Structure formats: C-alpha cells, structure tokens
Structure 1
Amino acid sequence: MAVIAVYSVKGGVGKTTIAANLAWCSAAISCRKTLLWDLDAAGGAGFLLGLDPDGKHDAGSVFAKDAAPDKLIRKTGIPRLDLLPADESLRELDSVLARIGKRKRLAKLGEDLSRRYDRIILDCPPVLNEISAQVVRAATLVIVPLPPSPLSRRAFELVTREIRRHAKVHPPILPVISMFDGRRTLHRQAREENPSWPVIPLASAVEQCAVRRQPVGEFAPTSAAARGFAHLWTAIERKLAGGK
C-alpha cells in the first residue's frame, strides 16, 4: 500500500486535476484498488469524477468523531476506483486536528484504509498548517505540481522545507511541471532548468476534464495529456519501488 499526496502551497496549479488523473492511472493502468481521498473543502476531485455532493457534511467527522470513513466512501464509474469526498466541514479541519491533539490522525486513518486499497491518493488543500503536517506524516510519496516559471524552483524549496520541518525522515518528493506550454519561452526555460521533472502539458484535453467530468484517459486516451499523466504515473510507481 502507498499513500500518494498531491500537495501545493498555492491553488491554481492543476493539483486536483493531477490527483484525479493519477487515481485513474492507478486503477485503470496499474489495475490497483484505489481510493481518491479529497481533503480540499472545495470538493473538486468528486466533481472531476462525475459525482455530485450528497448534501451531507460528514467529511470532517472521520477526524473529529472517529467515524468510520468506510461509510462515506462512494464508488465511481471507473472500475477499482472509489472516492472519499470532501465537503464544507473540512474548512474547520485544521482547528479540529489542533484540538484533538492527534499528530498522526491522518496516518492512522490511511493505515486502516490500506486494508481495502493498494493506493490512496490524497488531494490536499493548499495550506501550510496542521493539515499539511499530517499529510507529511501519512504520505509514502509527495507529488508537488509547479507552474513553469522562474519561481518554480523557489516554490519547490518552500514545500521541501515545510515537509522536512514535520518529519525527521520525510517521504520522497516528486516535483511536476504542470500546465506546460512549449510555445512560451519561460516555460521552455523552466523545463530546461529541471529536465528530470515530469511534465503535464497545458492542453485542451486537460481542460475538458472539468467539462466532461472524467479523467482524460477516459475520453482522450491517445492525447499528449493522457501520455503525460501515464508517464507521471510510471515515475511514481518507479519511486515507490525504490527507483530514482
């Protein structure tokens, strides 16, 4: 089992789209029983998988009241892929975690869920607080989406410092250049400066995920975007197997 956290300190970098598409790759390409766990109160992961909110506000209860997360898990239309959805109750999650004082609450929940799932993908909120600290303690691997700009390396170093601050032995970190447009000089420069980082292109197929409410592999399996996500997933599996 592995817990793969998709984490960024800022929004608008394609975090949720990457998380949903990686969950699809895990289930459809690697044929692994996969859970996409949405920790972002915006609830975008469920939307991208075609699931509408059920009107309840129970997502925070698995942290605050020791409620069984199994009761909240929803099946998607994709074989082997389930969703643990977010809702507005997660907006108070940071204060809840601080109040209950359980520094590894998320890690314990992930451990319990590992009895049912081979891969757990966390769509993390863009924050620097107790939630991010809990994510670091729970994760086997942290994926960091970064926009292609001269500030990419600086943003990556910020995330790395945060991760090291919360764990003496921190999980491996895999930076990803997101929303890459090869026609732009700054984008090309960012890629040249970080040639080993996986790349997700800025493509219409990626934008269509939100329109079709499906991962790109479902409707455009031969597109450059689908290949980008598949290559990223291969890099993740390699990291999990102990490769570089």
Structure 2
Amino acid sequence: MAVIAVYSVKGGVGKTSLAANLAWCSSAISCRRTLLWDLDAAGGAAYMLGVDPPSTGRAESVFTQDRKPEKLITSTPFANLDVLPADESIRGLDARLSRIGKRRRLAKLAESLGQNYERIVLDCPPVLNEISAQVMHAADVVIVPLPPSPLSHRAFEMVVKEVKEIGKNHPPILPVLSMLDMRRALHRDARAANPGWPAIPMASAMEQSAVRREPVGAFAASSPAAKAVAQLWTAIERKLAKTS
C-alpha cells in the first residue's frame, strides 16, 4: 500500500481536480484497488467522482475512534475506486487532532485501510497546521500542484520546508506545473525553467471533468489533459517503486 498526498498551502491550484483524476488513474490504468480520501471540508474530490456529500457530519469521527473509516467509505461509479468523503465536521479537525495528541493518527488509519486498498490518494486542505503535519507522516509521496506564478513558487518553498521537518526519512516531493497555458509568457518561462517537472495543461477537458463529475480519462481519453494526467500517474508509480 502507498499513500499519495496531493497538497498545497495555496488554494485554487487545481489540487482537488488532480487528486480525483489521479485516483481514477490508479484504479483504471494500474488496476489497483484505490481509495480517494477527501480531507478538505469543501468535499470537492468526492463530488468530482459523482459522490454526493454525506447528509450527516461524521467525517471527523474516524479520527476519534468513534467510527471506523470503513463505515463511511462509499463506492463510486468507477471500478476499483472508492471514496472516503469529507463534510463540514472536518473544519474542526485541526483542533481535535491537537487535543488527541497523537501525531501519527492519520498514518495509523491509512495503514489500517491499506488492508483493503493498494493506493490511498489524499486530497489535502490548503493549510499549514496539525492536519498537514499528520499528512506528511502518512504520505509515501507528496504531489504539489503549482500554477506558474511567483506566489506558487513561494508556496512550494513552504511545502518543502514542512516536508523536510519530518526528518531524513521524509516523503519525496513531486512538483507539478498545473493549469499550464503555453500562450502566456510567464507560463512558457516556468516551463523552460523546470523542463523535467510533469505538467498539466489548462484545458477545457479538465473544466468539464468537474461539470460532468467524471475523471477526464473516462470521457476524453485522447485529450492532452487526460494524457498528461496519465503520464503524471506513471511518474508517481515510478517514484514509489524507487522508494519501496
């Protein structure tokens, strides 16, 4: 089992869309039993896979041992892919985790879920707090989407610092240029400066993914966006293979 965290301290970078699409790639391309775990109170990751938000706020309860995560896991319309959805209760999770005082609570839960899943993809909230610290302890690789901008560069430096605070055994970081529009000079410069980074283009297919509530690979497999996400997933699997 491996945990893939899609994380940024900055919102609006395409994080949720990327997490949902990568989870689908894990299940459809690698044929792995996959869980998409939504840790963002907005609940967008589950929504993008056609799963409506839960009617009762129970997502936080899995961290307090009041409810087993398996009780809240929901199947999706896609084979090999389940989701553990978020809800409004997650908003208080940072304070709850601080009170519990168990720094590896998320890692332990992920380890337990690993009995049924080969890959767990975390859609992380854009925060720097106890939740993000727990994510770093649980993750086997951290995916950081970065739209080409000075603010994104600063946000990336913050993520690198946080990940390295884990110690020498910190998870590897894979930066990804997201929402890349090669018609813009700033974006072309960012691509030229980081030619080895995976890149996800700014594309209508990615926007339609949220509208249709389907992964882009499920309805536009030949599109540049779908191919880019699939290539990113291949890079993630290779990185996991090197660290295993």
Q: TM-score range by the shorter chain?
A: over 0.9
The offset of 1:197, in angstroms, is 0.7
Tell me by how many angstroms 1:168 deviates.
3.9
Partner in structure 1 of residue 129 of structure 2:
129
Residue 11 (structure 1) aligns with:
11
What secondary structure sits across from 1:3 in the alignment? strand
What secondary structure, in the 3-state scheme, does the structure 2 residue paired with 1:136 have? helix
Post-superposition CA distance 1:46-77 (Å, at most 9, x none):
11001112311110000123421000000000
CA offsets 1:18-55 (integer angstroms, 9 cap, x no match): 00000000000000000000000000011100111231
1:29 aligned onto 2:29: yes
CA distances 1:204-233 after superposition (whole Å, capped 9, x unpaired): 000001110101011100000000100100
Q: Is the 8 A contact 1:152 1:190 kept in 2?
A: no
Question: Is 2:3–2:139's contact at 8 Å kept on the other side of the alignment?
Answer: yes
In the alignment, the residues of structure 2 paired with residue 40 and residue 89 of structure 1 have an alpha-carbon distance, to the nearest angstrom, of 10
Aligned to 1:233: 233
Alignment correspondent of 1:197: 197
Tell me the TM-score normalised to structure 2 length: 0.97
Please list every run of 5 or more consecutive structure 1 residues that lacks an aligned counterpart in the other structure. Answer: none
Query: How far is 1:150 from its partner?
Result: 4.0
Rounded to whole Å, the distance in 2 between the matches of 1:154 and 1:127 is 14
Q: Which moved more, 1:48-57 or 1:6-15?
A: 48-57
Q: TM-score, normalised by structure 1?
A: 0.97
Aligned partner of 2:67 in structure 1 is 67
Structure 1 counterpart of 2:213, which letter?
A: R
Q: Residues 38 and 84 of structure 1 are in contact (CA less than 8 Å); yes or no, is this contact kept in structure 2?
A: yes
Letter in 2 for 1:83: V
How far apart are the structure 2 equivalents of 1:167 and 1:95? 24
Asked if structure 2 preserves the Cα contact closer than 8 Å seen for 1:4 and 1:119, the reply is yes
Matching of residue 166 in structure 1 with residue 138 in structure 2: no
Greater shift, 32-41 or 47-56, is seen at: 47-56
Report the secondary structure of 1:143's partner residue. strand
How many Å separate the matches in 1 of 2:48 and 2:153?
29
User: 2:118 is aligned with what amino acid?
Assistant: D
Identity %: 69
